[in-house]
């Protein structure tokens, strides 16, 4: 299937004329399978009673803890419920299975350990995946997660999260992929394909503009339609056309004054009419506030006990009775659910194949390895010399494990949580999720294993004096700094919490040969940056993170990750220097104007003439690469990439649109991760999605006639001499 989707996506971009015979065959068999699913859905729906129809339209969260620890309620649960994120009863007489949903894209979760001892592969943060710029890895990671989900009895995966990163303080960015619509769309689409190849429905979320966690239920994102189509919507559109997710999860927030899950424009016009999306829209848990959301395009109320009412049962039946819900729409809702279940093998599912946990651990390790970004490396401080005598490892919990992000995407890996620390605070609805969890597998142990001849000492980073003392008597100091982020909360700024900056300052004052490793779910400020020799962004590196970090530090792995998000020079350079409504009580109404429009992240910096601390696309290697010979006609581009250094390694070739008819712009229009042996060279050919050159014109896309300039980028700020192309005017309707 993988080949099929890649070729169809390409064929869609190139136009049917360019389709190869085998792509045509694959497209035809895909279309036939889709038609068969539609046909089955229509026939099955026609045989249903209304009670059966409505039963598919809502489901609950089978989570027997906290306010839901009600034995009487639990006793009523159907036999096939699996405690987890979601359950929707099936209709056995018609062969319709129940829907058993689990979070999420970073691994099959086990919220609060409700399924005793049930662990699953815990992948690195979505940002690490984004940093790999490697769609094959997105496919492999999602396939691993989904096959474990299926083996545990789940058939709907609530992954993947792919909101664009508009604010580097958003608590959930670690679940997402990037600030760029092309990168997020391509990686998101590959992840959907990977998940669905395992025979589960995959969900893209949270549609749309769920860019902050502050007051997330009452946050109103105001955005201009063109800006939205060219940014967050484009990311979803690309992922949907490449991946064909069975379901789309709408967001908690409001978009232009309407709740995203009851947003007629977003759901009915954009998603279903313009994009011809055939799957179903499921709500986020607790995002529904009326039965009329069904008319506005929502197909299923999920996690219903989190809403004030089960809207999609009696209240929606009343709407059918009074005619405000048409029979056609009721059938449409049901058919959308049924067709996605059928198309993804849920209806005819045989026994789940056995899972290979060792292979999945290897995928987690590859994502960590390819996602780690070497931000700075003065005087080749890294990799550590093989004969290094003494190393000071400094920092909170570096002897315990690696940090993971909190909330509904939090996994329980096979080796478990080495530490679970209730953070406290945040009394709101998500306060209970605030538990800082460290996955077993400690960087200290991994470094000791990787450097058997060195003396590797440890200081927990409690007191600057202690850190300095250990650093002073070591050849090199490695400080691990971390920042816990979680669903439900944003952080006020980019600072590292506690006294971590002081620990780095004291360490580097004692030993200039200091390296900092960041375990964060976001960009952070580094006031000590000029003083330290090297900085490594390891994100939340997942269950195999410690070994991957040690391999990068010691040079066994040549770093190849590139930033999927700009590291801002300061919050003053952001479109919103302060988070609107930050610090107000939960559910305070706040309107956040997306004044950056579609110029998110590096595009905003280019527009405002601001330099990032580290730009999007930035990442160093232990070898050197040279790109050359850019040729483009505006539809395709080719150039060569050469490894001109002494080590094997990988780079990410990046092609940017830099001006349109003399007007500067900055848009990533193509990328490819390339692995090269020393001295090797490869010609890269990229296809440019025309939407990335265009503007949204109200009903479709317009490429204005004129001179378009393209440049290869080391990153979004370091660009080669542009190549100009003269393009003809082109206007087309939106369609996927
Ligand atoms: C999150 C979703 C998640 C759902 C079910 C919500 O709070 O926003 O991403 O899938 O819970 O756990």
Give tens-digit pLDDT for 100-139.
Answer: 999 999 999 999 889 999 999 999 999 999 999 999 999 9
Distance CA 496, CA 466 (A): 19
Q: Output the residue whose Cα is nearest ligand 1's atom 6.
A: 285
- What CATH number has the domain bearing residue 66? 3.20.20.300
Burial (Cβ within 10 Å: 0-12, 13-18, ≥19) of residue 417: buried
pLDDT value for 2: 33
Q: Whole-angstrom Cα distance, residue 38 to residue 89? A: 21
Q: For ligand 1, is residue 205 a contact (CB within 6 Å)?
A: yes
As given in the structure block, the two tokens for residue 660 are 């349109």
Whether the pTM exceeds 0.95: the reply is yes
Q: 549 and 647: one domain?
A: no
The answer as to whether 249 is a domain residue is: yes
Mean of the per-residue pLDDT values of the chain: 95
Query: What six digits make up the tokens of 664?
Result: 């500067």
The closest residue, in CA terms, to atom 2 on ligand 1 is 284
Distance CA 267, CA 277 (A): 10
Q: Is 685 exposed, middle or buried (0-12, 13-18, 19+ CB in 10 A)?
A: exposed
Those residues whose C-beta lies under 8 Å from the C-beta of residue 647, and which sit 6 or more positions away, are: 558, 622, 623, 678
> Low-confidence residues of the chain, pLDDT below 70?
1-19, 735-736
CB 242 within 8 A of CB 198: no
Nearest CA to ligand 1 atom 11: 285
In ligand 1, the atom with minimum distance to the C-alpha of 109 is: 12
Let me know: does 240 contact 275? Beta carbons within 8 Å. yes
Distance (Å, rounded) from C-alpha 407 to C-alpha 430?
8
Q: Quickly count: other Cβ atoms within 10 Å of residue 481's Cβ.
A: 25
Pairing of strands 99-102, 723-727: unpaired
CB of 158 shorter than 6 A to ligand 1: yes
Distance separating alpha carbons of residues 370 and 376, to the nearest angstrom: 16
Between CA 379 and CA 532 the distance in angstroms is 11
Ligand 1 and 296: CB distance under 6 A: no
Evaluate the omega torsion of the peptide bond into residue 574 and state whether it is cis, within 30 degrees of 0: no
Cross-strand partners of 670? 655
Task: Answer yes or no: is the C-beta of 285 below 6 A from any ligand 1 atom.
Answer: yes
Q: How far from chain centre, in Å, is Cα 629?
A: 33
- Of 513, 540, 559, the residue at which a domain comes to its end is 559
Q: Torsion angle, CA of 568/231/219/251, rounded to 10 degrees?
A: -120
Residue 593 within a domain: no
The atom of ligand 1 lying closest to the CA of 206 is 9
DSSP, res 311: T
Is there a contact between 152 and 108 (Cβ–Cβ < 8 Å)? yes
- From CA 291, how far away is CA 731, in angstroms rounded? 39
**Where is 26: in which H helix or E strand?**
helix 21-46
Q: Determine if ligand 1 sits within 6 Å of the CB of residue 250.
A: no
**Alpha helices (runs of H) in 152-215, residue ranges in sequence order:** 181-196
Same domain, 260 and 244: yes
Pocket lining: 408 vs ligand 1, CB cutoff 6 Å: yes
Is 85 touching ligand 1 by the criterion CB < 6 Å? Answer: yes
**What φ, ψ does residue 551 adopt, rounded to 5°?**
-65, -35
CATH code of the domain covering residue 665: 2.60.40.10
Q: How many domains does the chain have?
A: 4
Q: How far is the CA of 102 from the centre of ligand 1 (A)?
A: 9
- How far from 79 is each of 96, 250, 302, 520, CA to CA, in Å? 15, 29, 19, 41
> Are 137 and 286 part of one and the same domain?
yes
Taking the CB of residue 452, how many other CB atoms lie within 10 A of it? 7
**Per-residue confidence (pLDDT) for residue 428, from 0 to 100:** 73
Q: Whose structure tokens read 């980028």?
A: 713
Would the CB of 284 count as within 6 Å of ligand 1? Answer: yes
Is the domain of 494 the same as that of 519? yes
Q: Are residues 419 and 516 in the same domain?
A: yes
- Over residues 371-407, the pLDDT tens digits come to 999 999 999 999 999 999 999 999 999 999 999 999 9
Residue 489's CB: how many other CB atoms inside 10 A? 26
Beta strands in 532-575 (DSSP E): 534-537
* 42 and 61 housed in the same domain: no
- How remote is the CA of residue 316 from the centroid of ligand 1, in Å? 23
Task: Give the sign of the dihedral formed by CA 724, CA 728, CA 731, CA 732.
Answer: negative
Question: Cis peptide leading into 383, omega within 30 of 0?
Answer: yes
Q: How many CB atoms lie within 10 A of CB 31?
A: 11
Atom of ligand 1 nearest to the CA of 210: 8
Residue nearest to atom 5 of ligand 1 (CA): 85
Residues 43 and 62 in one domain: no
Tokens of 190: 């590959």
Cα-Cα-Cα-Cα torsion 641, 645, 611, 693, nearest 10 degrees, comes to 0
Is residue 290 one of the residues assigned to a domain?
A: yes
- CATH number (domain holding residue 380): 3.40.50.1700
Q: Which pLDDT score, from 0 to 100, does residue 534 have?
A: 99
- The verdict on 296 and 429 lying in the same domain is no
Residue 599 falls within a domain, yes or no? no
Residues 602, 664: Cα–Cα separation, whole Å: 13
Identify the domain boundary among 299, 322, 343: 343
Q: Whose CA is nearest to atom 7 of ligand 1?
A: 285
**Index of the ligand 1 atom closest to the CA of residue 103:** 10
- 254 near 581, Cβ under 8 Å? no
- For a substitution probing ligand 1, which of 245, 284, 287 has the most ligand atoms within 8 Å of its CB? 284
666 burial type by CB count under 10 A (0-12 exposed, 13-18 middle, 19+ buried): buried
Within-domain flag for 606: no
Q: At what angle do helices 357-371 and 545-554 cross, to 10 degrees?
A: 50
8 Å CB contact between 208 and 255: yes
**CB of 447 closer than 8 Å to CB of 550:** yes
Q: Which atom in ligand 1 lies closest to the alpha carbon of residue 408? A: 12
Q: Is residue 21 part of a domain?
A: yes
Domain-located, residue 358 = no
Q: Residue 641 is part of which domain span?
A: 623-733
- Report how far ligand 1's centroid is from the alpha carbon of 104 (Å): 8
User: Strand locations in 385-442, DSSP E?
Assistant: 390-394, 401-404, 417-422, 435-440
- Count of other CB atoms within 10 angstroms of residue 728: 9
Q: Which residue, 682, 677, 679, 693, is CA-closest to 728?
A: 693
pLDDT of residue 734: 80
| 165 three-state secondary structure | coil
Q: Within this chain, do residues 156 and 273 fall inside the same structural domain, yes or no?
A: yes
Residue that terminates a domain, selected from 322, 343, 364? 343
Instruction: Please give the Cα distance from 59 to 302 (Å, whole number).
Output: 5
Residue listed under structure tokens 């780690």: 372
Residue 202 near residue 191 (C-beta atoms within 8 A)? yes
Q: How far is the CA of 285 from the centre of ligand 1 (A)?
A: 6
What are the C-alpha distances in Å from 717 to residues 167, 248, 655, 658, 720?
A: 19, 34, 12, 10, 10
For residue 60, being part of any structural domain is answered with yes
Distance CA 314, CA 320 (A): 10
Same domain, 398 and 323: no
Ligand 1 centroid vs 286 CA: distance in angstroms? 9
Predicted local confidence at residue 554, as pLDDT: 98
Instruction: Among 83, 102, 103, name the best residue to mutate to test ligand 1's pocket (greatest count of ligand atoms within 8 A of Cβ).
Output: 103
Q: Residue 491 Cα, ligand 1 centroid: separation in angstroms?
A: 20
Catalytic residue among 284, 307, 459, 734: 284
Cα–Cα distance measured from residue 184 to residue 190, given in angstroms and rounded to the nearest whole number: 10
Closest CA to 580 of 492, 495, 487, 485: 492
The residue ranges of DSSP E strands in 67-139, in sequence order, are 86-88, 99-102
Alpha helices in 99-245 (DSSP H): 126-132, 135-151, 181-196, 225-229, 232-243
Q: Are residues 292 and 421 in the same domain?
A: no
Pick the residue whose CA is nearest to atom 4 on ligand 1: 285
Does 307 participate in catalysis according to the annotation? no
Ligand 1 pocket check: which of 162, 195, 285 to mutate, most ligand atoms within 8 Å of Cβ? 285
Residue 253 near ligand 1, beta carbon < 6 Å: no
Of 210, 263, 217, 215, the closest CA to residue 235 belongs to 210
Do 252 and 293 reside in the same domain of the chain? yes
């Amino acid at each position: 299937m993988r080949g099929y989707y890649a070729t169809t996506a390409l064929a869609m971009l190139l136009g049917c004329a360019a389709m190869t015979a085998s792509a045509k065959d694959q497209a035809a068999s895909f279309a036939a399978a889709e038609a068969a699913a539609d046909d089955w859905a229509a026939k099955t729906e026609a045989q249903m009673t209304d009670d059966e129809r409505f039963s598919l339209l809502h489901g609950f969260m089978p989570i027997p803890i906290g306010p839901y620890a009600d034995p009487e309620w639990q006793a009523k649960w159907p036999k096939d419920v699996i405690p987890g994120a979601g359950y929707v009863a099936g209709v056995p007489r018609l062969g319709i299975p129940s829907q058993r949903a689990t979070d999420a894209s970073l691994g099959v979760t086990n919220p609060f350990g409700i399924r005793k001892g049930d662990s699953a592969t815990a992948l690195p943060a979505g940002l690490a995946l984004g940093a790999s710029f490697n769609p094959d890895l997105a496919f492999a990671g999602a396939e691993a997660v989904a096959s474990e989900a299926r083996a545990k009895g789940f058939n709907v995966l609530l992954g993947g999260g792919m909101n664009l990163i508009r604010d580097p303080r958003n608590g959930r960015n670690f679940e997402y992929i990037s600030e760029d619509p092309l990168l997020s769309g391509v990686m998101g689409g590959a992840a959907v394909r990977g998940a669905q190849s395992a025979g589960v429905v995959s969900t893209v979320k949270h549609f749309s503009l769920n860019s902050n966690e502050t007051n997330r239920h009452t946050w109103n994102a105001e955005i201009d339609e063109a800006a939205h189509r060219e940014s967050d919507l484009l990311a979803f559109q690309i992922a949907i056309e490449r991946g064909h997710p069975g379901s789309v999860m709408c967001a908690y927030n409001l978009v232009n004054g309407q709740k995203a899950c009851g947003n007629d424009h977003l759901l009915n016009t954009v998603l279903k009419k313009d994009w011809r999306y055939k799957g179903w829209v499921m709500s986020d848990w607790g995002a529904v506030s009326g039965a009329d959301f069904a008319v506005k395009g929502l197909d299923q109320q999920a996690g219903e006990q989190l809403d004030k009412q089960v809207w999609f049962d009696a209240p929606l039946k009343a709407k059918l009775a009074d005619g405000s819900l048409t029979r056609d729409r009721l059938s449409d809702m049901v058919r959308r659910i049924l067709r996605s279940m059928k198309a993804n093998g849920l209806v005819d599912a045989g026994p789940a194949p056995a899972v290979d946990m060792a292979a999945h651990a290897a995928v987690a390790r590859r994502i960590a390895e390819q996602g780690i970004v070497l931000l700075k490396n003065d005087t080749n401080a890294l990799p550590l010399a093989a004969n290094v005598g003494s190393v000071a490892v400094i920092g909170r919990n570096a002897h315990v494990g690696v940090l993971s992000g909190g909330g509904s995407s939090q996994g329980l890996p096979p080796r478990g949580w080495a530490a679970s620390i209730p953070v406290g605070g945040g009394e709101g609805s998500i306060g209970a999720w605030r538990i800082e969890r460290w996955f077993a597998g400690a960087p200290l142990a991994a470094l000791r294993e990787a450097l058997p001849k060195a003396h590797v000492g440890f200081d927990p980073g409690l007191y600057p004096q202690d850190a300095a003392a250990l650093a002073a008597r070591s050849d090199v100091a490695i400080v691990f700094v971390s920042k816990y982020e979680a669903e439900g909360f944003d952080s006020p700024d980019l600072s590292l919490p506690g006294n971590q900056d002081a620990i780095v300052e004291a360490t580097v004052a004692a030993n200039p040969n200091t390296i900092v490793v960041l375990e964060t779910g976001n960009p952070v400020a580094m006031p000590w940056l000029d003083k330290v020799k090297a900085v490594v962004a390891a994100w939340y590196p997942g269950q195999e993170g410690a070994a991957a970090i040690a391999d990068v530090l010691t040079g066994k792995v040549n770093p190849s990750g590139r930033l999927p998000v700009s590291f801002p020079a300061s919050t003053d350079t952001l479109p919103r220097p302060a988070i609107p409504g930050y610090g107000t009580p939960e559910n305070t109404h706040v309107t956040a104007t997306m004044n950056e429009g579609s110029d998110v992240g590096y595009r905003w910096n280019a527009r405002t003439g601001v330099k990032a601390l580290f730009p999007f696309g930035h990442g160093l290697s232990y070898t050197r690469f040279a790109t050359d010979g850019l040729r483009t006609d505006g539809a395709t581009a080719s150039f060569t990439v050469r490894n001109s250094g002494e080590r094997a390694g990988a780079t990410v070739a990046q092609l940017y649109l830099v001006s349109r008819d003399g007007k500067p712009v900055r848009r990533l229009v193509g990328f490819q991760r390339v692995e090269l042996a020393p001295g090797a060279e490869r010609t890269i050919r990229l296809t440019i999605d025309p939407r990335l050159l265009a503007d949204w014109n109200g009903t479709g896309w317009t490429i204005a006639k004129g001179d378009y300039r393209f440049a290869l980028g080391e990153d979004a700020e370091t660009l080669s001499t542009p190549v100009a192309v003269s393009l003809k005017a082109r206007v087309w309707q939106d369609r996927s």
